[in-house]
Structure 1
Amino acid sequence: MTVVANIGAWMYNAASGWLMTSLDASPLTVSLIQVASSLPMFLFALPAGALADIVDKRWFLIIAEILLTIVAAASAALVRLNLINPPLLLLFTFLLGVGAALTAPTWQSIVPQLVPRKDLATAVAANGRASSDPRA
């Protein structure tokens, strides 16, 4: 499941970089897509880990995924209607990165609840690999 979700995120990141080149081909602006995508993990991963320990994981993931779906749908609608511009593209990319950063620790922490104890080591290894950057 993690692999499928990550493929969608990686596709969005590649497409947003490509879209930015058609909106504003400035190297700085295009590189800001990668910043908007990566900065949330740097800023929010540690607090998100603490948050994952204190909230109900199930409800947190349900609410977060609904919000991420709304953000992604709004972004898609703006692109489809040709209303997207560089600042909006950067904003949506950042917001989706924030969602990924906030949910990553929670997804990692529920693995023991999803698999039998005897398969836990394999599941943790598979989930860790699935969560890593495909360029690694």
Structure 2
Amino acid sequence: MSRILLPIDPDQPARTRAAVEQVLRMRVSGPVTVRLLRVQPKLSGHVAMLFGTGELHELLQKTGAEDLQLAQTLLELAGVSYTSTVLVGRSAETIVTAARDFHCDRIVFGRDEPGLAGKLFGSLAQQVRQLLDDASGGPQVIG
């Protein structure tokens, strides 16, 4: 059984659709377990001061769960079961850690057409690949 981590960027719905399509193609080869992941950016100390610790955690979890809805709907329509997780941190590092913690053998990103930041610093998929290469392997990055 293939364990797939599917990081979701709510600002890129086309990328989410493409990633789900890739997962559906993989499912033809055998059973898959899908873990949806939304990485919420850590808020600056100045912003975080405006909230109580529990309130901030609840807000980040709630908005992260909302961000996962498109992917959840697409997977449900295709009859694919999944588990959803919302984590807070730096995107690439958090994705790599989650893939290891959840014992995923693949990380699936949709088509990657990076904007200016992606062209300067590399796409998120490229950053994840680099971190995995630096750490002597890990899950296969697709996308």
Please indicate, yes or no, whether the TM-score normalized by the shorter chain is above 0.5: no
TM score, norm. by length of structure 1: 0.30
Structure richer in strand, relative to its length? 2
Q: Whose Rg is larger?
A: 1
